[in-house]
Amino acid sequence: MGQKVFIIAEVGSVHDGSLGNAKRLIDAASACGADAVKFQTHIAEAETTRDAPMPGFFTGEPRYQYFERTGFGLEQWCELKARCAERGVEFLSSPFSRQAVDLLEAVGVARYKVASGEVTNLPLLTALAKTKKPLLLSSGMSSWQELDQAVETVRRQHDDLVVLQCTSEYPCPYEQVGLNVLAEMHARYGLPVGLSDHTLTIHASLAAVTMGASVIERHFTFSRLMYGSDAPHSLEPAEFKGLVEGVRAIETMLAHPVDKSDAARFGEMKRVFEKSLVAVTDIPAGAVFTPALVGVKKPGTGLPAARLDEVLGRRAKRFLATDSVIQEEDVLWD
């Protein structure tokens, strides 16, 4: 709590195989304030059979063909990493095969994101952990038992790991976000936690930050009308910028706790907005203060309204004209 949240713009494959689109998405994410731009490194032949089904939310073309058509080679990945460096954001990608890990090692990534579907792929997790680079582990479709095994696999090599709560529904309804799991993960593993958010708004991500999430990942697109599996449940630039602004505002709030016992800094505001005891009519010297003579009005520069009962029944020390604010010295206290 109170530390800078790492905000990832998940481009995935929304570039649709266009290097130009991928570069412009980096530019846009950087302009929105993202800390990192994440892609997905698919090598069709190494990752999937030719007849593997597409997910239900995207049936535009066969999975093998889609990965083959939208995949990049070493030179292109290096160009994208360089573009990220130029724009001041970290280049990230999720590998989906051992060959993809080798490719990204050649590109020179600083850390890896493990997609939800790879949590049970222990050979891949072992290969990633052996790079000794930090890992972000998404948990979208995993049971606790599967997640325990994944975390243990990584921890055999190192402990630089963030576990992300995620729900593999596209889009994810609010009822399935699982904000409660953030605290459960932190208690279970003693590791930093975050949220990979598949809802259609920024609300869940902002809530997660208030609950201690140190990483927020959101799908990012130019427009939800773009073709592909990820675009329909992504944030557009204006929305992503709002997310970043909201997260940074929450960070400031969490980093600056307020001492509610100290109201001295509101002195001027209290004088303007609070109320004092006031003469509602002329009060002669020596007159007994009664409810008919004393009222409560702005400003808060005299005896506070809270002291009304103390004043009633006592006498005026001097003449008080109508609307005079009653001061301590205007009351005979003996």
Read off the pLDDT of residues 144-181 as tens digits, 9 standing for 90 and up: 999 999 999 999 999 999 999 999 998 999 999 999 99
The 3-state DSSP composition of the chain as helix, strand, coil percent (nearest 5) reads: 40, 20, 40
177 and 293 within one domain: no
Q: Place 54 in a pLDDT band, splitting at 50, 70 and 90.
A: confident
User: For all residues of the chain together, what is the average pLDDT?
Assistant: 95
**Residue 217: strand, helix, or coil:** strand
Please compute the mean of the pLDDT values over residues 194-213 and round it to a whole number: 97
Please compute the mean of the pLDDT values over residues 6-11 and round it to a whole number: 98
- 52 contacts 23 by C-beta, under 8 angstroms: no
Alpha carbons 294 and 314: distance in angstroms, whole number: 11
Report the amino acid identity of residue 5: V
Read off the pLDDT of residues 76-86 as tens digits, 9 standing for 90 and up: 999 999 999 99
238 and 320 within one domain: no
Token pair in block for residue 206: 């902002």
268 and 161 within one domain: no
The predicted structure's pLDDT at residue 58 = 76
The predicted structure's pLDDT at residue 275 = 97
Q: Place 99 in a pLDDT band, splitting at 50, 70 and 90.
A: very high
Q: Which of 55-69, 155-169, 264-278 has the lowest mean pLDDT?
A: 55-69
Residue 323: domain span: 264-332
Alpha carbons 44 and 154: distance in angstroms, whole number: 25
- What residues pair up with 316 in beta bridges, in sequence order? 331
131 and 74 within one domain: yes
Give the strand pairing for 193-197 and 276-279.
unpaired
318 and 210 within one domain: no
Q: Place 318 in a pLDDT band, splitting at 50, 70 and 90.
A: very high
Please compute the mean of the pLDDT values over residues 287-307 and round it to a whole number: 97
Element (H, E) at 249: helix 237-255
Q: Place 1 in a pLDDT band, splitting at 50, 70 and 90.
A: very low
Alpha carbons 167 and 76: distance in angstroms, whole number: 31
Number of domains into which the chain is organized: 2
pLDDT at 2 over 70: no
Please compute the mean of the pLDDT values over residues 15-29 and round it to a whole number: 96
295 and 245 within one domain: no
**Residue 92: strand, helix, or coil:** strand
Please compute the mean of the pLDDT values over residues 100-112 and round it to a whole number: 97
The predicted structure's pLDDT at residue 243 = 98
The predicted structure's pLDDT at residue 228 = 81
- pTM of this prediction exceeds 0.85: yes
277 and 185 within one domain: no
Element (H, E) at 84: helix 74-87
Q: Place 230 in a pLDDT band, splitting at 50, 70 and 90.
A: confident
The predicted structure's pLDDT at residue 202 = 97
245 and 270 within one domain: no
209 and 275 within one domain: no
| Bond preceding residue 299 cis, omega within 30 of 0 | yes
